[in-house]
Amino acid sequence: MTESCLVTRLENFVSLTEGEKRFVAYLEREERQVSRGDTIMAIGSAQENLYVLKYGWAIVRSREERGRRAILRIYLPGEVIGLAELGLGTAIHTLEMRTDGAICPFPREAISEMYEAAPRLAALMTAISSLDQQELRERLFAFGRLRAEERLIQFFVALRDRLAITRIGANNRFHLPLTQSEIADYLGLTPVYVNKLLQKFAREGVIQTCDRHIRLLQREMLEERVGHQSLYASIDTSWFPRAHS
Amino acid sequence: MTESCLVTRLENFVSLTEGEKRFVAYLEREERQVSRGDTIMAIGSAQENLYVLKYGWAIVRSREERGRRAILRIYLPGEVIGLAELGLGTAIHTLEMRTDGAICPFPREAISEMYEAAPRLAALMTAISSLDQQELRERLFAFGRLRAEERLIQFFVALRDRLAITRIGANNRFHLPLTQSEIADYLGLTPVYVNKLLQKFAREGVIQTCDRHIRLLQREMLEERVGHQSLYASIDTSWFPRAHS
DNA sequence: CGTAGTGTTGAGATCGATCAAGCGCTGTGG
DNA sequence: CCACAGCGCTTGATCGATCTCAACACTACG
């Protein structure tokens, strides 16, 4: 039996006990198939669920204001959607599938149950959620202080780093199911300029793009250039409570 | 006896039981005076503590890279510092006092204890931490898609909103202990341009600045203009576990 | 075979940066 | 009491990275 990709992800950080795995399975007990373009949460709707994203990519879109739109977060397989929204009663952003996929909805109350039944798992999710915040801070720095070129590079290396956690993206090559417009929305640029930069990079031989795939030809150099450091490499588990069995 | 400003803040969302207040007091048992300019956490140092910020303002600064610097977060009295860093073993940003103040350090393990001893408090902090993420997402939208003018306005209205939680900023007037350079670092602009915008606003009569204080003369209009909605107004507590006494 | 979405290209416009200089405090030391 | 340094703020001139606009090519699909 192949393991849940959430378990794979979590076991990067601590190896889970049987009880913890059971709790993850409990979160994943209901699975729903979803299609590219489906809206999972709409702005203004009541939020009662979180989701484990089992397959596919999902994105968080901002409201659209005078034609200005943004993509605020990309969710990859094995990530938990909704931790960042726990405090909100109604959604202020849209969650949309970018590819076909599958999600496992579970109610917010399960988070409370987790404190009790699997406290170490709760701590781990808290820690991961804090890394999400760190990633947002890094993006904020990039938006405010880096040129478009460097922002695009940061996007690629950070994405590869996150994909690597669930063992995707060997050879520095990975699937990128986003249009250039979407990349622009994620980076605060225009589609036209993203296009020009991608061509420039291809010309310079730092990346290859073909058929919705990206290959980073000089990854080390690129990571160096934007001062990338893997957030997930150094997670601190020292303060976690002991796992119940 | 005047209450802890953390308690004041938290009681905006749920009224705390005696046990919960005791737990907060336990977090705040050790108080340290700090001065303007003090570095609380330095890049690369091991992180073992969180802090309740009792008095004063603190800021998170990014690393400086080729003269580019940014302020990633402003902490106000009554906020808990370090929730966003829980997953990191070593600091990747600097935490610095912007005014004199007082902080209450407590170890990360207390978060684990909190799951057990005061689970509803843990849920509340999780919820608040998620609102921090939402605020970061809104800032990201602003950085990517709003003009400098609107970013500055968003800064003012969001700040006022947060100050109001602990009853500061009556009359739409509040203390802003930041230089124009620091505001620029917070907004991804240059000091020169911040200066020009502030003068423009003053000329247009939308704000008044004097003596490190800001008054928003047309707050409703400003909030309207950037589509501001208070994150804290609508916190969802429905999924919280029951409080132990 | 028309339509819609995506990617490409070039010309021109602009917001905000950069550069440079000067002003007015405040604190310090002689 | 003065000289001076440093910092924060102000102002104007100029520059350039990125946007805007507009047109076209390609593919997929009903």
Q: Which of B62, B115, B139 sits opposite A119 (nearest CB)?
A: B115
> Rounded to the nearest 5°, which phi and psi values hold at B161?
-60, -45
For chains A and B, count residue pairs whose Cβ atoms are closer than 8 Å. 192
pLDDT for res B30:
93
Interface test with B, best of A63, A145, A152 (most B CBs within 10 A): A145
B41-77 pLDDT tens trace: 999 999 889 999 999 999 999 998 888 999 999 999 9
Q: What is the pTM of this model?
A: 0.93
Reported as a pLDDT band with limits 50, 70 and 90, residue A245 is: low
C-alpha B185/C-alpha B65 separation (Å) is 13
> pLDDT at position B245, please?
61
CB contact under 8 A, A143 and B63: no
What lies within 8 Å, CB to CB, of B57 at 6+ separation is B74, B75, B76, B77, B97, B98, B99, B101, B177, B178
Which positions of strand C lie within 7 Å of protein CB atoms?
Answer: 5-11, 15-20
Q: What is the pLDDT of residue B244?
A: 75
> In whole angstroms, how far apart are CA A32 and each of A100, A110, A119, B187?
11, 18, 27, 41
B190 CA → C25 C1’, Å? 22
- B89 with A65: Cβ contact below 8 A: no
pLDDT at B2: 61
Q: Please list, in sequence order, all residues whose beta carbon lies within 8 angstroms of the beta carbon of residue B194, skipping any fewer than 6 positions away.
A: B152, B180, B181, B183, B184, B187
In which residue are the tokens 């350079």 written? B181
Who among B69, B112, B236 is closest to A240 (CB)?
B112
To the nearest whole Å, the CA of B40 is away from the closest chain A CA by: 18
Beta strands in A35-164 (DSSP E): 39-41, 49-55, 58-61, 71-75, 80-81, 94-97, 101-107
Contacts of B139 in chain A (CB under 8 A): 140
Average pLDDT over residues A17-25: 94
Pick the closest to residue B139 from B129, B130, B151 (CA basis): B151
Tokens of A236: 């601190």
Substitution target from A108, A141, A230 for chain B, most B beta carbons within 10 A: A141
Contact yes or no for B41/B60 (Cβ under 8 A): no
Give the confidence band of B166 by pLDDT, cuts at 50, 70, 90. Answer: confident
Q: Are B107 and A107 in contact (CB under 8 A)?
A: no
> For chain A, how far is it from start to end, CA to CA, in angstroms?
22
- What six digits make up the tokens of A76? 């990859």
What SS3 state is found at B102? strand
Which residues on chain A are in Cβ contact (under 8 Å) with B67? none
pLDDT at B149 over 90: yes
Q: What is the pLDDT of residues A160-212, one digit of tens each?
A: 999 988 777 677 889 999 999 999 999 999 999 999 999 999 999 999 988 78
Return d(Cα A164, Cα A159) in angstroms, integer: 9
- Spacing of C-alpha B16 from chain mean position: 21
- Rounded Cα–Cα distance for residues B130 and B124 (Å): 10
Q: What integer best gives the mean pLDDT of chain A?
A: 92
> What are B50's strand-pairing partners?
B106
- Nearest-Cα distance to chain A for B64, in Å, is 10
Residue B219 has pLDDT above 70, yes or no: yes
Could you tell me if B130 and A129 are in contact, meaning their C-beta atoms sit under 8 angstroms apart? yes
Confidence of residue B215 (pLDDT cuts 50, 70, 90): very high
CA–CA dist A205, A224 (Å, integer): 16
Looking at the complex, report in whole angstroms how far the Cα of residue B1 sits from the nearest Cα belonging to chain A: 30
Kindly state the tokens that stand for B92. 């990747």
